[in-house]
């Protein structure tokens, strides 16, 4: 079955710095979704990418879908304390198979 892998598992970032988290699927995806889960909370939808090579931006967040539709990335610029949480990608083979997530901590 489909497997979604995320790296890194943990990301410790200095406030103001940029970082990128990556998502790789064992199979071609019809689309990919990204979610954010704050400590103690539930996953909250961020974005969905559908087209090969698609790039979408949300303020300081940039999401990209690979040309082969098997990988994706999330790049955050000028990290803030509000970015703390775990970021999950979810491959859509209707099951929404989630990766293990990248847990982000921010040093002020």
Partner 1 sequence: GAGVSQTPSNKVTEKGKYVELRCDPISGHTALYWYRQSLGQGPEFLIYFQGTGAADDSGLPNDRFFAVRPEGSVSTLKIQRTERGDSAVYLCASSADRRGEAFFGQGTRLTVV
Interface with partner 1 by CB under 8 A: which residues? 1, 6, 30-31, 33, 41-45, 48, 88, 90, 92, 94-101, 103
Say if CB 73 and CB 64 are below 8 A apart: yes
Task: Provide, rounded to whole angstroms, the least separation between the CB of residue 103 and partner 1.
Answer: 8
Compare residues 6 and 72 and give the one whose CB is closer to partner 1: 6
State in angstroms the smallest separation of the CB of 24 from partner 1.
14
Cα 21 to Cα 73: distance, rounded to the nearest angstrom: 6
- Taking the complex as a whole, how short is the minimal distance between the CB of residue 44 and partner 1, in angstroms? 7
Nearer to partner 1, 30 or 80 (CB): 30
User: b/e for 38-60, b at 16 or more Cβ within 10 A?
Assistant: eeeeebeebbebeeeebebeeee
């Amino acid at each position: 079955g489909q497997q979604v892998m995320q790296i890194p598992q943990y990301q410790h970032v200095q406030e103001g710095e940029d970082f990128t988290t990556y998502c790789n699927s064992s199979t071609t995806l019809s689309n990919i979704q990204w979610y954010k889960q704050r400590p103690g909370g539930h996953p909250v939808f961020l974005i969905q990418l559908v087209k090969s090579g698609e790039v979408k931006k949300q303020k300081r967040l940039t999401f990209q879908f690979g040309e082969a539709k098997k990988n994706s990335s999330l790049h955050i610029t000028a990290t803030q304390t509000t970015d703390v949480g775990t970021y999950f990608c979810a491959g859509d083979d209707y099951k929404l198979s989630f990766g293990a997530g990248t847990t982000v901590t921010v040093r002020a």
